Amino acid sequence: MDIVTPGVGLIFWTALLFLLVLVVLRRFAYKPILEAVKAREDSIKEALSSSSKAKDEVEVLKKEIEDMKKEARAERETIIKDAKEAADKLLSEKQEVAKKEYDRIVASAQEDIQNEKNAALAEVKNQVAKFSVEIAEKLLRKELSDEDYQKKLINELLDDTKLN
């Protein structure tokens, strides 16, 4: 058992004890330890990857939302534009109709007025004729009652009407 000469007994016991430790711990300690560590690492890895996946998904969703917003905005604009156009069209149509109606009303009114005017004029003419006849009648009656005058008148008329 000198310092640099290995003893058989210690070699035997070292080999035996080392192999004992190796065999026993490999079976009963390292296996559960390394398995548990591996399981933990896997679960961490999975959690990390799933979280990054979720992040990506959120990113995609965000983009989708943004796109949808854009689309909605565009749609809104087109709708407003369309509505405006429709309103303008409707307005102009209505205006046209109204104008036509107005024209028609005005025309018919003018016609009516003309008719009324004509009727009124006819009425006035009739009245004037009536009054004229009445006046003439009255005048004639008075003139005819005066003989001298009649004669004079006849003479006058005769004078005027030269027999040529």
Residues that bind another protein (CB under 8 A): 1-15, 17-18, 20-22, 24-26, 28-30, 32-37, 39-40, 43
Decide whether 1 or 157 has the Cβ nearer to another protein: 1
Decide whether 12 or 102 has the Cβ nearer to another protein: 12
Question: Which region holds residue 5: left if phi is over 0, alpha if psi is between -120 and 50, else beta?
Answer: beta
SS3 163: coil
List of residues 6+ apart from 150 with CB closer than 8 A: 143, 144
The whole-angstrom separation of Cα 125 and Cα 67 is 84
Decide whether 22 or 79 has the Cβ nearer to another protein: 22
- Residue pair 17/9 in contact by the 8 Å Cβ criterion: no
Q: How far is the CB of 71 from another protein (least distance, A)?
A: 46
Give the H or E element holding residue 27: none
Q: How far is the CB of 79 from another protein (least distance, A)?
A: 56
Decide whether 44 or 83 has the Cβ nearer to another protein: 44
Q: How far is the CB of 50 from another protein (least distance, A)?
A: 16
Q: What is the CB neighbour count within 10 angstroms for residue 93?
A: 10
Decide whether 13 or 131 has the Cβ nearer to another protein: 13
Q: How far is the CB of 51 from another protein (least distance, A)?
A: 17
List of residues 6+ apart from 7 with CB closer than 8 A: 1
Q: How far is the CB of 27 from another protein (least distance, A)?
A: 9
